[in-house]
Structure 1
Amino acid sequence: MLKILGVCLSALIVVTAGAGWWFYQHLNGNIHSFSLDGKGGTEKADAFGRTPINILVMGSDGRTSKTDCKLGGGCSATGVQTGSNADVQMVMHISADRSNATVMSIPRDTMTKVPACKDSASGQSTNGYYGQINSALQYGPACQVATVHQLTGIPIDHFVKLDFSGVVKMSDAVGGVPVCVSDDVYDTYSHLKLSEGTHTLKGVAALEFVRSRHGFGDGSDLGRTISQHIFLSAMIRKFKSAGTLTDPGAVYGLADAATKALAVDDGLGSVKKLIALADDVNKVPAKRITFATMQTAPDPADEDRVVVGAGARTLFSTIAHDRPLTTGSGKKSAAASATAKATATAAAVPASEIAVTVENGTPITGRASAVAAALTGQGFSTGTTTGNAPSPATTTMLAYGTGREAEARTVARALGLPASHLERGTGTGLTLVVGADWPGGTRFTGGGSAPAPADTKAAVSGAHASTADQAKTCAKVSPYKTVTLGGVSMTPSQAYAAARSKPDSDD
């Protein structure tokens, strides 16, 4: 969604340069933004000062307008309602170097702690409770962000929220999204009805597809997350391959629909900010966008609910530490390959030509000499020198001058120093200040900080991982009796056969 929005907006500014200011103001007026109130935590910059971006993408089930009542149903007795739940929750992670992205779905039936929150817009508040994760949205988008951050430990910078009509607008704006289903399917709850094969869905049909939880997988929200990943992957591929951007009218229609469809946080509350974000997202090729679903286990207290399962904490930590994911095939991701190339480049500078100034920032005598001796013992230049740091240092840091990044990484690898302990310095060479977090030994142990997981393959075990370039993937129709027709339980395929007179969703 974000990639599509940003490309549309960027192109719009170019192709409508003559009337750009009017369009810009019009699009800004479309955007609805809310404060995050600092609830999502803070990202850490990498060695080069770059920070990853984490966005919580929410799909609301709110029937807060007549249009959404008509699309979502359930308003016959209540009329237009207030409040909503986040029935779709995806954490979208964009790496600090913009080489890869991860989209992790959190099933709506996950039980967790919701922190104390107050919605600044409605005034509704809670002192905190244990409940279903999607319910936090009742206390505002910032509360949903805080709940996801608390559950996962992943800092959340921004949020994007769509309602029922937003999904319809976006799918219409791109001219429909091609999806494949493995068998005939009729979900009598979401009303999705499709024959086996590939279909181009837009409008209400697209909404029926992304809402269907009885039609796919095991008939639960877990199956729905996978079909949603298929839908979003297809949308990304279509937009990348379409010639839409050569048509000014189409570009304007897309941008207008996108800005009307979304609610965002204040950090994304203007066209300029959305374009800047989308430029970052657009740098990531489809083959490096990984979709995954948080691993779950049955809730011992309620068979209809789930809790965080085995592997989920590893997945959370992998994302929080800005590591790319594999697809479970055992192959390295493209981002991992890029990292390997960068490592090879770093290694191209011989250790014998790299001299380091090692300074002792601890009260422990001899620390600089011990580390320097370890470096020269590994073949680094005998020009390596030692001394005392100008002031005590809490954290060990390796500063490098302009053009010396590759050498700094070579030194860091030799000492076991994480990339987070590298920084661009003001000098011309390499200066390592040994801090209080490294009181002994000649290999950095991290001072007790939690290391990033080394095995990203383990992070996606059981997470149904896929990448956005997988065009031949079909949504697996449920083989179980997950729907009812005429009061009789049956499989979605049986329901399709029994409802021949009902038109298909894409008719």
Structure 2
Amino acid sequence: MIRGQAGNAGPGARRRADGAPGGAADGISGGIPGGGPDGEPGAASGGRAARREAARRQGRRGRRRLRRWQKAVLWTAAGAVVLTTGAGGYLYYRLNANIQNAPLFAGEEGDAGKEVPDAFGRTPINVLVIGSDSRDDPEDCQIGGDCGGGANADVNLLLHVSADRSNATVMSIPRDLVTDLPGCKDKAGKSVFKAQRGMINSTLQGGPGCTVAAVRKLTDLPIDHFVQVNFTGVIKMSDAVGGVPVCVSDNVYDPYSHLRLSKGEHTLQGMAALQFVRTRHGFGDGTDTGRSSAQHLFLGSMVRQLKGAGTLTDPGKLLSLADAATKALTVDPGLDGITRLVGLGQDISKVPSERITFTTMQIVHDPSNDSRRLIGPGATELFRAIGSDRSLSGGGPQPGDAASTVPSAPAAPPAPSSAPPAATGPDRSGITVVVRNGTGVTGRAKALVEALRQDGFAKGTDTGPSTTAEHTTVTHPAGREAEAQQVAAALGLPASAVQAGKGSSIELLIGADWTTGTSYPSGTGGTAPSAPPADPKTLLKGADASTADDTSGCAQVGHEGTVELPGYKGSMTPVQAFDRSKDVPLSAP
């Protein structure tokens, strides 16, 4: 009856329902006809029955109000969900649209390699991080330096994350390293970079896939992904994390990167961060080695900043970082998408800071050019250790241990056949060998001369001039290949090490791939390489190394004459340059 009365009310009641004076906001009469808002006068005149009727009306009105309030909340919540989903979708497409991609591998021969899963189906991850010095983008060009097309790889960092995600290694490959570079092609198969011997940073001129091919050839490690970052990316990401704390051992001014800092601790953002990671002449001996060490300090500090400042759990900070990062990235198709990049980030975030090792591959000076570097003793063993998924921070099971579930090495092509055994070759006593040391390790040539003499080669076998070489070879003049094969067989070298030479002698050139022992590491008969040393200290001998949790290190300012200033004759140290450039503002307080 009451609902019918309300529903069949006259025009006046409908006007009140529309908000006319005297009507309730929800369109229901305020009380029993003739009564006040709570129906009290009417209840008094109608006795007990009237009071019951009033209570029933009040209850229905309350329930109706509750239902409408609930509907309002539900619709508001639904609207929020729609808006949030829409915003999420917008952000997803926005971040995806920021990312550029390029082919993973651009070499004319071979491929990027494949990882081997462990017993649980887990695989390591190798990501090549390339820092480009390109200034063809207007924003990058505005930063300074030469503008226009073309690029070199200012930074090459190989990030290895173990199969069980318990440890990681970040290995720097100096830009000044001279090595054998592969030929590269574009998507259409057109040659974009000719095979040559040169600095590894030049391969970026053939695209990031060409740099991947060069690092693959150098290390023999599979490269699963690459991430290329430009100048502005460093600036924006350092801003997004709120700055990166670093320290320098002395006052420093590098007029080439424009970094000027006083001795001590600083928090670097924006341009100051870029100046720091690009500084070469201000740190160490003024080469890429000192810069790599400073970059490791910067990256370790950024890792601590990301984990300690809650950036990875704060939606606002995370969005700012993601937006800054994606705008600055070129990646391979396997990482072309925000969800894939987030997945990679999550894999890396699982690794404790104390088990993230930063190192630089072992190098030696190029005797023919002091500003260039060659692969040094121990580098090949370091590459093999990374390929074997060994932790360089120590602790925990290692591949090959009884408790380990990780294979000792990624898949490799069948080993080449060894040189023919001694019984089928020429008489060793008539073969004189010239042994040259290309490893940089003192005494290597003499050790192998003695080993060859003991194996029956001519007493005239002796050392020749030292040089530098990455790979061990045995060269021979025309018509004497069988003699060179005999030398290779005696030392356990593969048949591919025997090559035609230009000289008149049988020559053994010991490369950086063989720095110890008198039997080639691949073993007699072309067997697989022996396991690298398990001790991280042995693997990192001759290599600068630190971990991401180390807060004690400062970038070591150089004390050699590595910089020059206008108005001053000759070179000076970065400390002297700081004192003589008081008019140049500090990069950071």
CA contact (8 A) 2:185 2:206 kept: yes
> Is 1:480 paired with 2:560?
yes
| SS of match in other structure, 2:564 | strand
Deviations 1:132-189 (A, max 9, x none): 1010110111110000010011110100001111111111111110000001000111
| SS of match in other structure, 1:244 | coil
> Is 1:197 paired with 2:264?
yes
| SS of match in other structure, 1:98 | coil
**Structure 1 regions of 5+ residues with no counterpart?**
1-14, 76-80, 327-332, 345-444
CA contact (8 A) 2:397 2:403 kept: no
Q: Match for residue 504 of structure 1?
A: 586
How large is the Cα RMSD of the aligned pairs?
2.4
Q: TM-score, normalised by structure 1?
A: 0.71
**Structure 2 regions of 5+ residues with no counterpart?**
1-82, 406-523
Q: Match for residue 516 of structure 2?
A: none
CA shift for structure 1 position 311: 0.7
CA shift for structure 1 position 288: 0.4
Q: Match for residue 185 of structure 1?
A: 252
| Aligned mates of 1:446, 1:254 — CA distance in 2 | 53
Show the 5 A alignment for 1:300-319: 300-319=367-386
In the comparison of the two structures, how many residue pairs are matched? 382
CA contact (8 A) 1:118 1:140 kept: no
CA shift for structure 1 position 40: 1.6
Deviations 1:310-343 (A, max 9, x none): 11111111001111114xxxxxx23448997946
CA shift for structure 1 position 48: 2.3
Give 1:449's aligned amino acid. Answer: A
| Aligned mates of 1:277, 1:21 — CA distance in 2 | 21
Q: Match for residue 134 of structure 2?
A: 62
Give 1:480's aligned amino acid. Answer: E
CA contact (8 A) 2:398 2:404 kept: no
Q: Match for residue 450 of structure 1?
A: 529
Q: Return 119-128 or 103-112, whichever deviates more.
A: 119-128
CA shift for structure 1 position 116: 1.5
Q: Match for residue 73 of structure 1?
A: 145
CA shift for structure 1 position 73: 1.1
Q: Return 94-103 or 447-456, whichever deviates more.
A: 447-456
Q: Match for residue 92 of structure 2?
A: 24
The match for 1:243 among 285, 292, 310 is: 310
CA contact (8 A) 1:39 1:142 kept: no
> Is 1:324 paired with 2:396?
no
Q: Match for residue 118 of structure 2?
A: 46
CA contact (8 A) 2:182 2:194 kept: yes
Q: Match for residue 221 of structure 2?
A: 154
> Is 1:491 paired with 2:573?
yes
Q: Match for residue 360 of structure 1?
A: none
CA contact (8 A) 2:193 2:203 kept: no
CA shift for structure 1 position 55: 0.5
| Aligned mates of 1:343, 1:313 — CA distance in 2 | 23
CA contact (8 A) 2:397 2:404 kept: no
CA shift for structure 1 position 250: 2.6
| Aligned mates of 2:173, 2:151 — CA distance in 1 | 17
| Cα distance, 1:315–1:174 mapped onto 2, change above 3 Å | same
CA contact (8 A) 2:102 2:333 kept: yes
CA shift for structure 1 position 249: 2.8
Q: Match for residue 334 of structure 1?
A: 395
Q: Match for residue 467 of structure 2?
A: none
| Cα distance, 1:156–1:16 mapped onto 2, change above 3 Å | farther
| Aligned mates of 2:399, 2:193 — CA distance in 1 | 46
Q: TM-score, normalised by structure 2?
A: 0.62
Deviations 1:82-127 (A, max 9, x none): 1211110010000111110000000001011111211338955134
Q: Match for residue 417 of structure 1?
A: none
CA shift for structure 1 position 47: 2.5
| Aligned mates of 1:123, 1:82 — CA distance in 2 | 19
Show the 5 A alignment for 1:339-358: 342=403
CA shift for structure 1 position 45: 1.7
Q: Match for residue 460 of structure 1?
A: 540
Give 1:256's aligned amino acid. Answer: D
| Aligned mates of 2:257, 2:272 — CA distance in 1 | 10
| Aligned mates of 1:148, 1:315 — CA distance in 2 | 14
| Aligned mates of 2:525, 2:303 — CA distance in 1 | 40
Greater RCO, CA 8 A, separation 6+: 1
| Aligned mates of 1:90, 1:500 — CA distance in 2 | 35
| Aligned mates of 2:311, 2:289 — CA distance in 1 | 33
Q: Match for residue 3 of structure 2?
A: none
Deviations 1:189-245 (A, max 9, x none): 100000000100011100000000000011111100000000000000011000335
| Aligned mates of 2:565, 2:335 — CA distance in 1 | 44
CA contact (8 A) 1:483 1:495 kept: yes
CA shift for structure 1 position 474: 0.4
| Aligned mates of 1:310, 1:340 — CA distance in 2 | 26
CA contact (8 A) 1:120 1:140 kept: no
CA contact (8 A) 1:72 1:164 kept: no
Show the 5 A alignment for 1:425-440: none
CA contact (8 A) 1:93 1:101 kept: yes
> Is 1:256 paired with 2:323?
yes
What fraction of aligned residue pairs are identical, expressed as a percent?
A: 55
> Is 1:206 paired with 2:273?
yes
Show the 5 A alignment for 1:67-466: 67-75=139-147, 81-120=148-187, 125-245=192-312, 247-326=314-393, 333-336=394-397, 342=403, 448-455=527-534, 456-466=536-546
Looking at CA atoms only, which structure, 1 or 2, has the larger radius of gyration? 2
CA contact (8 A) 1:116 1:127 kept: yes
CA contact (8 A) 1:118 1:125 kept: yes
Deviations 1:346-397 (A, max 9, x none): xxxxxxxxxxxxxxxxxxxxxxxxxxxxxxxxxxxxxxxxxxxxxxxxxxxx
Give 1:40's aligned amino acid. Answer: A
CA contact (8 A) 1:39 1:143 kept: no
